[in-house]
Amino acid sequence: MAEVLDSEPSARERRATSSLPKVDGLVEFRGVHFGYSADRSVLRDFNLSIRQGETLALVGASGAGKTTVVSLLLAYYDPDAGAVCIDGHDLRDFDPPSVRRQIAAVLQEPMLFQTSVRENIRYGRLEATDAEVEAAAVAAGADTFVRGMAQGYETPVGPRGTMLSGGQRQRLAIARALLPDAPILVLDEATSALDPVTESAVLAALRARKPDRTTLLVTHRLSTARRADRIALLSGGRVAELGTHEELLGSRGLYYRFYAERTGAEPELPGVARG
């Protein structure tokens, strides 16, 4: 423990003291190479651009690098080569907390605290009013079940949210992420515990609440991915294919095979009727 406490921060942490200015939400990975160790390369010449206001789904087999992409965007790691940029700003030039303040992230296993539903949501922006907290819950599809609980928004959730189901925890985490009104939203398997109907309603509400928000949707559910504006399929540490669900199926490439493997059925091509 003493060794960890005495360790010096990285050169970048000492150097990057300026704050990332307010951004619109153009996300770019420019020729990124990254590995967690010298002999373990995860991303290789990784290039991806996510336009402001676009919802882009990131799909691929386990180990393809989806979570690594999220970690680099949140400035938890620096690329070994290349750059991760927002609105053209290289994230290495800025204090990491200032980067994360402009990105709302919801992970598959959200962290909830042993307090009320209201305070768990309000943690996203501590100065938020009760009305703002409840509006965020509505957008996240949480308001109905919360009001059905014994104490409503004052109901304790238990340690790590143990009094709630997995889907309920995820919806509270999404509501929390909406409070800061960040220009970029990252959903890393954040709707995996929701049924398809609820998931569709939540994703639609998120877009309606802030149409110009850039959303990175990391998912293994292709039914979720197809709701995005575009889909990026990762393979071998690179973006192997990029396009809409219909475009990627029509090209009969890796995504076509990936879709067939995941669904266990031959995909129905757009505009092609089965005889």
pLDDT at 163 over 60: yes
Bridge partners of 116, per DSSP, are 156
pLDDT reading at 133 higher than 70: yes
Residue 12 lies in a domain: yes
Residue 125 lies in a domain: no
Residues 6 or more apart whose Cβ sits within 8 Å of residue 136? 121, 124, 128, 175, 176, 178, 179
**pLDDT, tens digit (0-9, with 9 covering 90-100), for 91-102:** 999 999 999 999
Say if pTM beats, i.e. exceeds, 0.75: yes
Residue 54 domain boundaries: 2-102+182-263
- In a domain? residue 164: no
10 is a domain residue? yes
Q: How many residues does the chain have?
A: 275
Q: Which residues pair with 86 in a beta bridge?
A: 27, 89
Mean pLDDT along residues 264-275: 58
Reported as a single tens digit per residue, the pLDDT across 136-153 is: 999 999 999 999 999 999
Query: What CATH number is attached to the domain comprising 58?
Result: 3.40.50.300
Within its chain, how far is the Cα of 274 from the centroid? 36
62 part of a folded domain: yes
pLDDT 10s digits, 195-240: 888 888 888 888 888 889 999 999 988 888 988 999 999 998 999 9
Which own/partner pairs from 31-37 qualify as long-range (CB within 8 Å, at least 24 positions apart)?
31/81, 31/82, 31/83, 32/72, 32/79, 32/81, 32/82, 32/83, 32/84, 33/79, 33/80, 33/81, 33/82, 34/68, 34/72, 34/77, 34/79, 34/80, 35/80
Total structural domains in the chain?
1
Would you say residue 173 lies in a domain? Answer: no
Is residue 158, in this structure, part of any structural domain at all?
no
Query: DSSP string covering 59-73, please?
Result: EESTTSSHHHHHHHH
pLDDT higher than 70, residue 174 = yes
Span 176-180, average pLDDT: 92
User: Is 132 part of any domain?
Assistant: no
Q: Token pair of 15, please?
A: 């150097």
Q: Is residue 75 very low, low, confident or very high in pLDDT (cuts 50, 70, 90)?
A: very high
